[in-house]
């Protein structure tokens, strides 16, 4: 089943992808929007080629007011789970469209409540995450430098042994 996205949604998705932070990539943006990576890259390509119709300001403003699934509070999640309990699949899909979420979000939230998991929207402080990413990058860089130095030293030792074998030089000298 294919999903039809509005021009306003596509434009906003492209804007979000192009204005993403340095520590995120297009795949992360696509996942957060619930669209495929290839779909988002296609929309970006289309936007660069000016293939989109411009959406009205009202559409864009309405889109920007919609909450992402991870922005829902626990109370709001519980409320929609309770609302969906008495509905059939068609009614649930309609409610989800109105709310800007997918049925799998509701199912995941229900599972989280049943299992007593913390909200998946609770994330570590962004400053802490940024610090850890910077430290991780520095450690990887240092490890890479040391690996190269070790490889160079090993190559020099092998080369020295080969030269000694060819020229018959003493190991003592």
Sequence ranges of the domains in the chain: 7-62, 74-115, 123-172
The string of pLDDT tens digits covering residues 112-155 is: 888 887 654 445 577 788 889 999 999 999 999 999 999 999 99
pLDDT on residue 61: 52
At residue 100, the 3 state secondary structure works out as coil
Confidence tier at 60 by pLDDT (50, 70, 90)? very low
pLDDT on residue 112: 87
At residue 63, the 3 state secondary structure works out as helix
What percent of the chain stands above pLDDT 90?
Answer: 18
Look at the pTM and tell me if it is higher than 0.75: no
pLDDT on residue 58: 52
CA distances, 115 to each of 55, 79, 110, 121 (Å): 42, 17, 9, 16
Report which secondary-structure segment, H or E, holds 54.
none
Between 146 and 72, name the one with better pLDDT. 146
The string of pLDDT tens digits covering residues 78-115 is: 888 898 888 888 888 888 888 888 888 888 888 888 88
CA distances, 34 to each of 5, 118, 122, 124 (Å): 11, 22, 19, 22
Predicted confidence (pLDDT) at residue 74 exceeds the cutoff of 80? yes
**Over residues 27-55, mean pLDDT:** 80
Confidence tier at 24 by pLDDT (50, 70, 90)? confident
- Mean pLDDT over each residue of the chain, to the nearest integer: 80
Between 157 and 72, name the one with better pLDDT. 157
């Amino acid at each position: 089943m294919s999903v039809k996205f509005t021009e306003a949604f596509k434009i906003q998705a492209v804007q979000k992808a192009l204005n993403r932070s340095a520590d995120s990539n297009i795949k992360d943006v696509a996942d957060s929007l619930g669209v495929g990576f290839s779909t988002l890259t296609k929309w970006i390509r289309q936007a660069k080629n000016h293939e989109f119709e411009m959406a009205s300001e009202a559409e864009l403003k309405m889109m920007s007011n919609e909450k992402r699934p991870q922005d829902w509070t626990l109370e709001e999640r519980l409320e929609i789970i309770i609302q969906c309990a008495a509905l059939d699949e068609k009614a649930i899909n309609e409610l989800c469209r109105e709310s800007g979420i997918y049925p799998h979000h509701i199912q995941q939230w229900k599972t989280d409540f049943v299992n007593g998991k913390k909200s998946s929207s609770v994330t570590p402080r962004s400053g802490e995450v940024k610090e850890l990413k910077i430290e991780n990058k520095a450690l990887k860089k240092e490890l890479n430098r040391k690996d190269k130095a070790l490889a160079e030293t090993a190559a020099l030792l092998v080369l020295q042994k080969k030269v000694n074998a060819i020229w018959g030089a003493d190991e003592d000298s």
